[in-house]
Every structure is written in structure tokens, then in C-alpha cells.
RNA sequence: GGAGAGGUGGCCGAGCGGUUGAUGGCAGCGGUCUUGAAAACCGCCGAACCCGAAAGGGUUUCGUGAGUUCGAAUCUCACCCUCUCCGCCA
């Protein structure tokens, strides 16, 4: 969420930034200054009446203590109260409107983010490794997975419908190995603290990180309470997390952190659940796009002046996993139109998938600056200044485990249909060197 | 699910209709003292919003929402959450 005062004082800039994102400034803040003016006027008038009422009440108290008559004053206070009812309601309504429209305005992208409509305009920042060359026709992971008996998509459909998977044998083991491998690197070598959060969160949390209200249709919600109503963020409803970002970032919601704690770096494994509304027909084969997938997520809370450097470091930490696994990738700087709602700047890591002959997203590393912190009210007290400030939050996949699984299977496939296991992973696979059909 | 207790400022903890934004303690900040540090002592110290160029003024805020009252942290009701015990269960 942007700061109300900032939007008020920088309307042209905000409009320009929204346009760069491909958003419609008119729709998002068309009547901003009208609404803002009306809201402030209502507040001012209501507050003047309240000041008068409070003053009268005090005098009533004084008179009564002195044993004198106060009926005249009490009469005036009563009439103020009636006028106040309407005014207060009006101010509250306008305030809520402002709040809601503010909550739907995306973050401002940084100036170094390239302008662009879609992913076409994303910029390659670096490329690591090069796509493997095969002297045979590489197969997509769904064929390999089925032949090796490590992936069962058909039966998953029976259990849960489309976009679910069952992993078996070495396939299940591989998934678990990847999770452990990633967590070990991040906690043992990159300085993150492991967190295992709840997989269900309330709507307050989803508002905090920016999934609500705009992206409700992308989420799975448990039918254990009332309907979701925009503007009402409950702490007693339950939604499946779309990413560990939500519970982990919200750990410090409504808290004031000590500056000496920062940066706080967490690594969390969780399954992720996404409704994938609007993705109908996309990536229907294989496990690229699932309703449920595993992910190891990196989350940081940093001082504003450090968030850039922490963003680079975090992205590097994710990249290192790909490098250790020997998977070719490239780092993309997302353009304005492709940068997520809450993010000020995002790098995507794209891994090469031989089965598709394309680079596909396997990690997304974002600096949210104070956008989420303002929504979730996460602050810290800088130095010896008494004033609190919002922290900067960051996160990135480190990595999406399901996609790592399929990249690995496709990248390390052999002519005979087996899949080599990279050396760094073998300790996590009980020494297994390759996945063969009999396993 | 049943019974009880409780939700107050960064933290702990008083207050239980009228100068209470809230006693006190801790932490933090500034100062005195000291070669330095500690201790001791003195002072400052919540947040959001509105008006104002500023100085400053005002409003709201004691889990949330309604209500009673001239006036509520304090009274009433509903709801939420936490803790303890019991039951059930991984």
C-alpha cells in the first residue's frame, strides 16, 4: 500500500508509474483528489463538533461537582450528538472508500525497471550455463516421469482433478531431497533461519502481503466461515497459502522490530496452493502449473537503505541452488508491465527446460520496499531516533521445487531413458546415482 | 466441544464513570557525576489522522463492533483471540 500523503503530494508521478505498469490511472485514482478532499472535510467538521462536545462535557462535570445546574449545557451536547451521528458516518464511509481504493493501487516500480507491457520486454541480466545438447530427442518430463514410474498424473486426476500430481518411488524421494538440499544450503551456508509456518492463513495476512483484495480468485479458501467481503479482513477465516511469503512475512505484522535484529532472513519450505484461475489451457501438460506445489521460499526484513543489496544477495542465493545443481538459467529483470502488484522490482530466474526448448520461470525475487510493511504494519525504530519507520520486505523462491524437479529430470535424461542424479544431491537420495525404470 | 481466567503504551503491570493518553517498573534517548565504563541521580519518551507555512492546536486510540451516558479504559450486549483445566484426536 502506498502512503496516503505521498499519493496526495505526488499524483502525477503515481499516475505515470501506473501507466507504465499498464494499469489505468483513471480507474484506480480518477476521483482521488475529490474523494480525498471530501474525506478530509468531513473529518474536519466532525472533529470540530467533537472538540466542542468534549469541552462542554468537561464543563458539565465541573458544574456538577460544584453542585450547580448544568441542564443547558447538557442540552447543547445532546444536539451536537445528533448532528455528529450523520457526520461521523459520512467521514467513516469516505475514509473506508479511500482505504479501499488505496489498497488496490499497485506498488510503484523503481526507475531502473524497464518500461514494457508484457514479459516480452523483460531484460536478460545474465545467463549462466548453456542448454544441454542431446544427441537424441529429449523427452518432456511427463513422458520420462511416466516411463520411470516416478510420476502419476492420471491417478492424481482421479484423486483431485486436473493440475495435481502423484510422485512415487525415486520421484517422491527426489522431491524430498530437493527440499532438504535447498534448505540446507540456505540455512547452513547463506545465513537464513528455517521456518515452518502454517499452511492456512487468515485474510488479514493475505491483505498484508497484497494477495487480497485484488487476487482473491487466485486463492483457495476454506468454506469454514462467511463469504469473503472486500474490506473485511478477518483473523478467523482460513485460506490455503499460495506461497510461504504470506505466513512468513506476516510473522511480524503489527510489530515494531529492533534495528539490531535487521536484516532478518528466513527460509521456509511449504506447499503452495493456487487456483490458477485465468490460466485455463496454459501449461496443461506435465507439472509446470499445478494447483499444489512445493516451494522453498526466502523472506527478508531489512532496513530501507539495505534492501537493494539484500535483494541482490537473495537473488544470488537462489541462483546458487541452480548452479550447484548444474541447471542452466538466466536472470531476467521484469519490466513494469510484468512486475507483480506488491513489488517495486523483481528478478525472475528462468531455468532451461530441454523438453520444452525454452526458459521457464523457476524463481521470482522481489523487493517490496515498504509496500507490504505498510499493509501489514511492520516497523522498526531506526537508530536513536524515536520515530518508527516501515521496514522493507523482500522475498524470492529458492526455489520452486516442482519446477526444479522437472528441470532436473529433463536436463539429466540419458539416451537410455534413465535420469542421472547430480552429485550434490546424491547424499540426499541415499546414494542413488541415477533413476531407472526398475526403481 | 465443556468449565474457568484474561485481552491496557516497545515490554511488564496499575487503573474499574469525570483534567487518565492513561500511576509505577523495565527498555530506549538526553544530561550530571567518572580517566573511561558501570552504578546513582535528573529530564525526555506511544501511534494514526485532521487543521496549520510553522509554532502549535484538535480528533481518535486501553481486543473488535454496537449500546447506555452530558461524559467510558472504566457500565451493558455481541463477537474475536489468548491462557488454564476437562473431553476428543494426530
3-state secondary structure A52-88: HHHHHHHHHHHHHHCCCCCHHHHHHHHHHHHHHHHHH
**pLDDT band (50, 70, 90) for residue A115:** very high
Give the residue-averaged pLDDT of A44-60. 88
Sign of the dihedral defined by the CA atoms of residues A67, A73, A74, A75, in that order: positive
Mean pLDDT (chain A) is 91
**Is residue A226 predicted with pLDDT exceeding 60?**
no
pLDDT of residue A239: 87
Strand partners, A364: A348
pLDDT of residue A88: 84
Give the residue-averaged pLDDT of A261-283. 90
Q: Which residues contact A248 (CB under 8 A, 6 or more apart)?
A: A195, A197, A266, A268, A297, A299, A395
Q: How many other C-beta atoms lie within 10 A of the C-beta of residue A251?
A: 17
Tell me which residue of A344, A391, A341 sits closest to A366, measured CA to CA.
A344
pLDDT of residue A82: 81
Protein footprint on strand B: which nucleotides are under 7 Å from a CB?
10, 18, 28-30, 45-51, 58-60, 70-71, 80-81
Task: State, as a whole number of angstroms, the distance between the CA of A430 and the C1' of B51.
Answer: 70
Nucleotide at minimal C1' distance from the A390 CA: B47
Rg over alpha carbons for chain A, rounded to the nearest Å, is 27
Exposed / middle / buried, residue A329 (Cβ in 10 Å: 0-12, 13-18, 19+): buried
Q: For B79, which residue's CA is nearest its C1'?
A: A236
Place of cell 483473523: A235
**Is residue A396 predicted with pLDDT exceeding 70?**
yes
Each residue's pLDDT tens digit, A158-172: 999 999 999 999 999
Q: Which residues contact A253 (CB under 8 A, 6 or more apart)?
A: A204, A205, A208, A376, A377, A378
**How far, CA to CA in Å, does A169 sit from each of A132, A174, A348, A353, A390?**
26, 9, 31, 23, 47
Regarding predicted confidence, which is higher, A268 or A63?
A: A268
Question: pTM, whole model, 2 decimals?
Answer: 0.91
**Is residue A229 predicted with pLDDT exceeding 90?**
no
Give the residue-averaged pLDDT of A167-190. 97
Measured between alpha carbons, how far is A401 from A9 in angstroms, rounded to an integer? 44
Task: State, as a whole number of angstroms, the distance between the CA of A253 and the C1' of B41.
Answer: 39
Amino acid at each position: 500500500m502506498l502512503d496516503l500523503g505521498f499519493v496526495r503530494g505526488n499524483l502525477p508521478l503515481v499516475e505515470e508509474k501506473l501507466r507504465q505498469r499498464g494499469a489505468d490511472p483513471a480507474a484506480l485514482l480518477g476521483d482521488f483528489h475529490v474523494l480525498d478532499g471530501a474525506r478530509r472535510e468531513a473529518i474536519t467538521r466532525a472533529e470540530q463538533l467533537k472538540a466542542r462536545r468534549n469541552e462542554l462535557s468537561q464543563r458539565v462535570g465541573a458544574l456538577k461537582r460544584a453542585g450547580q445546574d448544568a441542564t443547558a449545557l447538557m442540552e447543547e451536547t445532546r444536539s451536537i450528538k445528533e448532528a455528529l451521528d450523520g457526520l461521523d458516518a459520512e467521514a467513516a464511509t469516505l475514509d473506508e472508500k479511500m482505504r479501499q481504493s488505496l489498497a488496490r493501487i499497485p506498488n510503484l516500480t523503481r526507475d531502473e525497471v524497464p518500461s514494457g507491457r508484457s514479459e516480452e520486454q523483460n531484460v536478460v541480466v545474465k545467463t549462466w550455463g548453456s542448454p544441454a545438447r542431446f544427441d537424441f530427442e529429449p523427452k518432456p518430463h511427463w513422458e520420462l516421469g511416466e516411463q520411470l514410474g516416478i510420476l502419476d498424473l492420471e491417478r492424481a486426476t482421479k484423486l483431485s482433478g486436473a493440475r495435481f500430481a502423484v510422485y512415487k518411488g525415486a520421484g517422491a524421494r527426489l522431491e524430498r531431497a530437493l527440499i532438504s538440499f535447498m534448505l540446507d544450503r540456505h540455512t547452513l551456508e547463506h545465513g537464513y533461519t528455517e521456518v515452518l509456518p502454517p499452511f492456512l492463513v487468515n485474510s488479514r495476512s493475505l491483505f498484508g502481503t497484497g494477495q487480497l483484495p485484488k487476487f482473491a480468485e487466485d486463492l483457495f479458501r476454506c468454506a469454514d466461515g462467511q463469504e469473503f467481503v472486500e474490506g473485511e479482513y478477518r483473523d478467523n477465516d482460513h485460506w490455503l497459502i499460495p506461497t510461504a511469503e504470506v505466513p512468513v512475512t506476516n510473522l511480524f505484522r503489527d510489530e515494531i522490530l529492533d534495528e539490531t535484529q535487521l536484516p532478518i532472513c528466513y527460509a521456509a519450505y511449504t506447499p503452495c496452493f493456487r487456483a490458477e484461475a485465468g490460466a485455463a489451457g496454459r501449461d496443461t501438460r506435465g507439472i509446470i502449473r499445478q494447483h499444489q506445489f512445493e516451494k522453498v521460499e526466502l523472506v527478508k526484513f531489512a532496513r530501507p537503505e539495505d534492501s537493494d543489496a539484500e535483494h541482490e544477495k537473495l537473488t544470488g542465493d537462489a541462483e546458487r541452488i541452480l548452479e550447484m545443481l548444474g541447471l542452466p538459467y538466466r536472470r531476467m529483470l521484469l519490466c513494469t508491465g510484468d512486475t507483480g502488484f506488491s513489488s517495486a522490482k523483481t528478478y525472475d530466474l528462468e531455468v532451461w527446460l530441454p523438453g520444452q526448448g525454452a526458459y521457464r520461470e523457476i524463481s521470482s525475487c522481489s523487493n517490496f520496499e515498504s509496500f507490504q510493511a505498510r499493509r501489514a504494519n511492520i516497523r522498526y525504530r531506526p537508530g536513536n531516533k524515536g520515530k518508527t519507520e516501515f521496514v522493507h520486505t523482500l522475498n524470492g523462491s529458492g526455489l520452486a521445487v516442482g519446477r526444479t524437479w522437472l528441470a532436473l529430470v529433463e536436463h539429466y535424461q540419458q539416451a537410455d531413458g534413465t535420469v542421472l542424479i547430480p552429485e550434490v544431491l546424491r547424499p540426499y537420495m541415499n546414494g542413488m546415482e541415477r533413476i531407472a525404470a526398475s526403481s
